[in-house]
Each structure stands twice: as C-alpha cells, then as structure tokens.
Chain A
Amino acid sequence: VAVLPAPQNLTVLSTNMKHLLMWNPVAQPMETVFYSVEYQGEFESLYMSHVWIPSSQCSPTSGLACDITDDVIATVPYNFRVRATLGSRTSAWSTLEHPFNRNSTVLTAPRMEVTEHGLHLVIKLEDLGPQFEFRVVYWRREPGTMEHIKVVKNGDIPVHLETMEPGAVYCVKAQALVKLIGRHSAFSQTQCVEMPEESLPLAL
C-alpha cells in the first residue's frame, strides 16, 4: 500500500489576533483526505516534548486551513504539526518550520465611522474582539489647536467625543491597542466632519 505523503508548506496567517494555520493539499484523486492538527506550547516543548495536544477545531478536518486562535492561549512560541489520513492510511507528521507566537500578529488600522448627532461628534469603531482597545485622537481643525486623546475599551458602540461649535471642522483618527502583546496598529485615515453654521431664524 502506497505511503500517504505528508502535507507540505505549513504556514500561519495571523491578523488582529485571529490565527489561521494553512497547508498544501495531499492529492488523492477522487478521495477525501482528512487532516489532523496538533500543537504544543513552550511549556510542553521545554518540559515534555513528546506531548502534543489535538487542536480544538481541526482534529480531524477535510479543509486545508485550521483556525488555531482558541489553541494559542498564551504569549509563548507554539509548535504545530499536521498529518493526512485516508481510510486506514496515515501520513507522517509535517511540522511548522518556525514556532508561532501571537505577538507577531498583524494589527490593521481600525475601521471607524465618524458622524455628527446634533451638536455631538460621535465615533463608532469596528469590533475586533475582547483583547482590543482603541486610542482615538481628535481635534478641531484650526491653527494652534490641541489634540485630545480618548481610549475606547471596545468597538461596535457609538462613543461621544465632543460637543461641537457651529461652523467648526473636527477631525478624528484611531489606532488599535492590544495590551496582551504590548503592541498597537498604525493610525487609521483621518476623517473630518464639518458642523453646519447656525441657520438664522426666519424673519416673520
């Protein structure tokens, strides 16, 4: 019986603390190949390197990617390995070339909506999950103006920034903060909102 080849090219794609392990398919025409994913944290690799833990999402899976976010639950290097199974045949393990640490995740500038509600300057940020806070910087666009900073604890909730004056322009930018890994994203594009001039009451 031909030996089943091991999956190749294991890589981890990590963005905004969501981590995806991916690999190339094991080609077996007209057959469904299943894959099993296992991991070990730094503790296991240091103290008990024979111990591997089945991934909570993908043991087994027929897909070519595995969401390992719930498995990576400490800010330490993690080893991952994948093997293929077809019927009674099982491949050798293929191991991720470099251990993955969640502090290497890519942090993108947060999407935000800046609106005016009456006299109020309001911001709503995208919800990136419980590990995220946001630093919001806002200012009134005029010479010598001062920047104000507000830390917003979670996304998806409109937050009042400032009570605006008619005719003034206010600008806002924001960045995502992840204390867990001690890092932050780049700032988003600045968005500005102009407060209409006060409309004069109609002469009666």
Chain B
Amino acid sequence: FGPCRVEGVVLSELWEAFWAAKSTVQNQDDITSVRLLKPQILQDVSDAESCYLVHSLLKFYLNTVFKNYHSKIAKFKTLKSFSSLANNFLVIASKLQPSKDKDMLSISESAHRRFMLFCRAFKQMDTEAALVKAFGEVDILLTWMQKFYQL
C-alpha cells in the first residue's frame, strides 16, 4: 500500500472467507439505497494516501464491525470464515506502519477526511443495520485493497 509493506496474507484466502459468509450476510441487508463505502471515499486514492486510509478502515472493521457483528455470525455457523477474515485483517493492520512524518500531514489529513465520510455514514444508520451493511461491503473493500496489493 504505497510506502507500507504487508506480507503474509493471501488475498484469495480473504475472498474465499468472505464468499463463504456472503450469502448469509447479505440476506440480512435489506437497505439497498445506502452505501457506506461510497465511491468518493475510495476513488483516486494515491499510493501514499492508501496506507493511512486502509489502516483506519481495517482498525474500524476490527474494533467496531467484526467485534460487534460476531454474535450474528455465531447463529449462522460461519464462524470459521469470519475468523479467517478477522484474523487476516488483524495481520494486515498490525503490519501497516503509516508514516508520522510532518511532510506527510496533508496526505494523512486527506485520508482522514475520506475515513470520516465512512464513519459519518455508518453513524447515520441504525447500529444493527450499519453493522450488517458494513460487513456486506467487505467485498468493496477487498476489491479496492487488491489494486494496491501484489503478493
């Protein structure tokens, strides 16, 4: 992801995990008019900016989405796929080291503004619905990550 190097994750394993949970997940999402990862959040992200943005998004997914969504998963017996997704997100997030240099300030602020768009959209929804929606949009996130990630 630009200057950030991540190894030890095979994106195809993440896709496999997501597809395994997908049918269960997206059947619960009946608000089709809303999208959290709007185009303006992920479009035209520079390499340098991508490290900041993916780090923020993955942290949010770990601390908010996966953490709170888990009880739904337990009911539908897709625990293994969910665990694969969450633990691989943890690997990526832990290996990303966004630079804290002052000359990167404007880039990190731009990434932060994009991330806040996502957070605002998430908070405007009912929490349960937002969790389902965010989990269902993991494919949008993976598609975007794939552009930056070559193994």
Query: Residues on A close to B: CB < 8 A?
Result: 40-44, 46-48, 51, 53-54, 56, 71, 73-76, 103, 131, 179-182
Indicate if the CB atoms of B84 and A74 lie closer than 8 Å.
yes
A11 to B8 Cα, complex, angstroms: 24
A129 to B86 Cα, complex, angstroms: 24
Q: Interface residues of B: mostly helix, strand, loop or mixed?
A: helix
Indicate if the CB atoms of B91 and A75 lie closer than 8 Å.
yes
Indicate if the CB atoms of B66 and A43 lie closer than 8 Å.
yes
Indicate if the CB atoms of B90 and A74 lie closer than 8 Å.
yes
With contacts A73-B13, A103-B8, A180-B10 known, is A51 near B74, CB below 8 A? yes
Q: Which residues of B contact A131 (CB under 8 A)?
A: 10
With contacts A43-B66, A47-B62, A47-B67 known, is A182 near B90, CB below 8 A? no
**Minimum distance in angstroms from B34 CB to a CB of chain A:** 26
Indicate if the CB atoms of A73 and B7 lie closer than 8 Å.
no
Q: Is B107 an interface residue (CB 8 A)?
A: no
Q: Which residues of B contact A76 (CB under 8 A)?
A: 87, 90-91
Residues of B54-99 at the interface with A, using a CB-CB cut-off of 8 Å, are 62-63, 66-67, 70, 74, 79-80, 83-84, 86-91
| B12 to chain A: closest residue by CB | A130
With contacts A75-B91, A76-B90 known, is A53 near B79, CB below 8 A? yes
With contacts A43-B62, A103-B8, A179-B7 known, is A53 near B80, CB below 8 A? yes
| A74 to chain B: closest residue by CB | B87
Indicate if the CB atoms of B74 and A42 lie closer than 8 Å.
no
